[in-house]
Structure 1
Amino acid sequence: MSLRSIDKQNIVDEVYAQIKNNIVTGIWKPGDKIPSEHDLCQMFKVSRVSVRSAIQKMRAIGIITTRHGQGSFVSQSIQDRILNDLTPIMNITEKEFMDMMEFRETIEFKCIDLAVQRADEEDIRCIEQALEKMVAGRSDYKKYTAADIEFHVAIAKASKNEILYQVVKNTHAYSEFLEELNRVFGVSQESVQGHIQQFEALKRRDSEAVKALIKMGMNENIQKLRERNEP
């Protein structure tokens, strides 16, 4: 197999994973019409061939149905077993989640306090640019995560404390944590809106509002994690 064909298969698998994630997380529900092939191409920045191949895989196992002249739909009769098989495995334990909450409340919250005091116009611009990337990449959890990390690292940089900045920037467990949440829970409108609100509070120099929004998001995610772990 050539390198080119391997790359092509990886793209198809990635598009398949993104479509699957939108169904599993309820963005596209049973009976919903999914975006057209053209729109999916624009959404995922891939060729029509890759989108078509991913949809064919979905159709082959009964997740997607296609109606001539109407488009593709999430199957109305999709079985719970299929949905359970599709549900991504969360690779974060509740203990690891709570450890990360403590890390964020100790390190990241201090960065926010200092950023509110010390951020200059260039810092605010960098944070806003990362936010714009998040909004633009919300249909792809990997692109969204990269911008999500950039957003929080930019806030740490705005603290003007080099040690805190380097800790946030180089703590791989932190970036892996954010990616895992976005992979499993999907990129929700609430997540996007929450970051917009964080940015607006930061511009107002309201550190308590920024921290409250982050804490609210963390609490919502721990609740989702516990619900997944219920027998």
Structure 2
Amino acid sequence: MDNPAFAFEKALKNKTKKDILADKLTDMILTGLLRDADELPSERELSQLFGVSRETVRGALSRLTAYGLICVSHGSKTRIRAGDEALARFRSTHPESATCEMNRYDVNSVFESRIVVEAAIARRAAVNIDACGIDELDSLLRAQSQLFDSPVHFQLSDQNFHKRISEYAGNEILMRYAEELYAFGLNIRRQVMIEDGAIERSYQEHRHIVDALSNGDPDAAERAMLVHLDSVYRTTKNKLAD
């Protein structure tokens, strides 16, 4: 599979990688995954997380700066600007950028759909993924193993992890559904990830998925994905009930 990272979005929307990355980061701010005063990963880290060049990252960050959604200070970390005033100003000039439509649905309906879609993705990926793809996922896991105390960075990596697997499934419709379903309740997932042991648990579940994919075992890949989704579902539902 040749450079799949942004193939579907680019074909669908005719946007550059810079535009697509800027849209992704904007969505993360609007859904509450990235919050006011959060520090963004470095250009190098964002480049690795999203599989794009640092030039692409700089271009995307330049757009967010123009939107007034980030603050870039020389010699310090880039921070999110997502206070009420900044968000209201952005929405007034970008009325098409509504918050995630998936959040209109209840958690049970969303995860029933994720089970169907991502189980199929895991089975197809186990058949289609190559050694390069496994190396890429292993690299993501190595990075995730260092992020147990960094919920924002881990969530960014988590999204990329699921996206990479869906790309290797080789079905653009499933990939699009998976990405939309993933966007449900990202603000809630942010709250889950700050709980003790939550990131490490998710990392271990990712490890089992990659082990199954590396063995080319569709049944094991589906089981590992379903175990992971059940964990995400239960912790999300419990947090919604708090």
> Could you tell me the TM-score, scaled by structure 2's length?
0.49
| Pick aligned residue for 1:185 from 170, 192, 216 | 192
| Pick aligned residue for 2:207 from 164, 177, 196 | 196
Alignment root-mean-square deviation, CA: 3.5
Structure 2 residue aligned with 1:96: 106
Question: CA separation in 1, counterparts of 2:144 and 2:210?
Answer: 12
Q: Show the 5 A alignment for 1:24-39.
A: none
Question: Secondary structure at the residue paired with 2:145?
Answer: helix
Question: CA separation in 2, counterparts of 1:133 and 1:125?
Answer: 12
Question: CA separation in 2, counterparts of 1:128 and 1:12?
Answer: 31
CA contact (8 A) 1:107 1:164 kept: yes
Structure 1 residue aligned with 2:90: none
Question: Secondary structure at the residue paired with 1:139?
Answer: coil
CA contact (8 A) 1:201 1:210 kept: yes
The letter for the 2-side match of 1:127 is: L
CA contact (8 A) 2:126 2:212 kept: no
CA contact (8 A) 2:120 2:222 kept: no
- Quote how far apart the aligned CAs of 1:222 are: 4.0
- Quote how far apart the aligned CAs of 1:101 are: 1.5
- Could you give the per-residue CA deviations for residues 46-95 of structure 1, whole angstroms, max 9, x where no partner exists? xxxx9xxxxxxxxxxxxxxxxxxxxxxxxxxxxxxxxxxxxxxxxx98x6
Q: Show the 5 A alignment for 1:1-231.
A: 14=38, 96-169=106-179, 171=180, 173-177=181-185, 179-186=186-193, 187-225=198-236, 227=238
Question: Secondary structure at the residue paired with 2:170?
Answer: coil
- Quote how far apart the aligned CAs of 1:111 are: 1.3
| Identity fraction in percent | 17
CA contact (8 A) 1:131 1:148 kept: no
Question: CA separation in 2, counterparts of 1:227 and 1:153?
Answer: 25
The letter for the 1-side match of 2:182 is: Y
CA contact (8 A) 2:111 2:233 kept: no
Give runs of ≥4 in structure 1 deviating > 6 Å: none
How many residues are paired up? 145
> RCO (CA 8 Å, sep 6+): is it higher in 1 or 2?
2
Q: Is there any run of 5+ residues in structure 1 with no aligned partner, and where?
A: 1-9, 16-49, 51-91
- Quote how far apart the aligned CAs of 1:105 are: 1.8
- Quote how far apart the aligned CAs of 1:175 are: 3.2
Question: CA separation in 2, counterparts of 1:185 and 1:174?
Answer: 15
Question: CA separation in 1, counterparts of 2:169 and 2:117?
Answer: 11
Structure-2 change in CA distance of 1:151 and 1:226 (3 Å): closer
The letter for the 2-side match of 1:183 is: R
Give the greater-gyration-radius structure (CA).
1
The letter for the 2-side match of 1:136 is: Q
- Quote how far apart the aligned CAs of 1:155 are: 0.8
